[in-house]
Amino acid sequence: MREVVALGVGMTPFGVSEKTCVELFASAAWEAVQDAGIGTKDIEALFLGNVFGDFEEGQAVMASFAAAQLGIPHIPATRFEGACASGAVAVRDAYMLVASGQYDLVLAGGTERCTVMGTSLATRTFAMGSDSRYESPTGITFPGVFGMIAHMYADKYALPLSRLKEHMAMVAVKNHKNGCFNEKAQFRKEITPEHVLNSAMIADPLQLFDCCPFSDGAAAVVLTTLEKAKKMTEKPVIIAGAGQASAGNLGDQRDLTLVQARRISSKKAYEMAGIGPEEIDVCELHDCFTIAEIVATEGLGFFNDGEGSYAAQEGKTGLQGTIPINPSGGLKAKGHPIGATGAAQVYEIVKQLKGECGDRQVENARIGITDTLGGDLCTIVNLILKRGW
């Protein structure tokens, strides 16, 4: 397999947008193309993550229209759907096709416009990520799933629920603080633990500030071979490892605090990269809810099972901590346009490894990992990136 480089990255501001999904992606793609120092005519294929284009805008075959918007209407263009992991699935597939020799230079990413649906429709469509046969009829929602995980976590590790809620609040506080340093984040305002603990109850014990928002936005990545990249940049960022794994519905999963798909996927990525979790300098992970960040830090091997909540409370996941988590602000503060999230995580890690993140820069970051989750813990994608210089 050939070594693959993330040659250029682009991202729109996350939040509320009047642009269509295709227009949002075109904006991110133009930035990625310029960052890569190429022209759109050099792109051989397009891989686009999008989940609800049909519900949002009545638009199918979005990848083809995105290619046309970029002035390359005849290249292969494919839409990928993996719920909230759609953008990461698109980037991983693009990576594999470049690594295999099928293409030399491709564009991958994702786009979503969730806010146009409104809260009621967005909530209904998001719930489609649950199993329609056995889960949806129970009325389960994603906040409900992660509320259950919080209760299971507290019980499993004999942690008083009130204490766990305090630890979860520190995740939200940290990510909002990081978001203040990200000019593209949806929320750029610090909060306190009291803000979290006094906010509205959503799905016990999760409160409003434990939950990420609905968002609009797009992100894009230009991928090419290391051989080509060396002629175009002095700072190639190599995709050193990639993993993806799946799981069935919640009833098929033995312990929701131990996301088996994550452990399988990240193991594949670590093995491909030839490293362990102790060598990761910075991580962008799927903090759709504060408890999700805690269990992910354990699943990725940064902390032992049951220790992730204490690590969050002790500041070990802050910018100056032992393993900085979500310096971008994460889904919690940066925002979560679901089709774009995985590509936006890659955007942040590439910028971190190049030292281009300003006040949120992780010092001496050389290796980073992304972790993107889709559905009820049923799709996980992990990508490991490292400096190539």
Compute the distance between CA of residue 146 and CA of residue 160 in angstroms, rounded to an integer: 17
58: CB partners within 8 A, 6+ apart: none
**C-beta separation of 376 from 131 below 8 A:** yes
Q: What single string gives the DSSP state of each residue in 47-106?
A: EEE-S-HHHHHS--SHHHHHHHHTT-TTS-EEEE-BTBTHHHHHHHHHHHHHHHTS-SEE
**Lookup: tokens for 42:** 């050099």
CA distances to 94, 153, 222, 291 from 64, rounded to whole Å, are: 16, 44, 17, 37
Q: Which of 84, 114, 211, 212 is catalytic?
A: 84
- Whose CA is closest to 240, among 230, 226, 229? 226
Would you call 322 helix, strand, or coil by DSSP? coil
Q: Which amino acid would we find at residue 139?
A: G
Active site residue 151: no
Phi-psi region of 133 (alpha: psi -120 to 50; beta: other; left: phi over 0): alpha
Mutual orientation of helices 161-179 and 290-299 as an angle, nearest 10°? 90
Q: Which of 21, 336, 357, 378 is catalytic?
A: 336
Q: Which helix (H) or strand (E) holds 44?
A: none
Residue-wise burial string across 309-324, b where 16 or more C-beta atoms lie within 10 A, e elsewhere:
bebbbeebbbbeeebb
Active site residue 74: no
**C-beta separation of 79 from 50 below 8 A:** yes
CA distances to 45, 228, 237, 365 from 231, rounded to whole Å, are: 21, 6, 13, 24
- Whose CA is closest to 57, among 216, 185, 213? 216
- Catalytic residue ranges: 84, 336
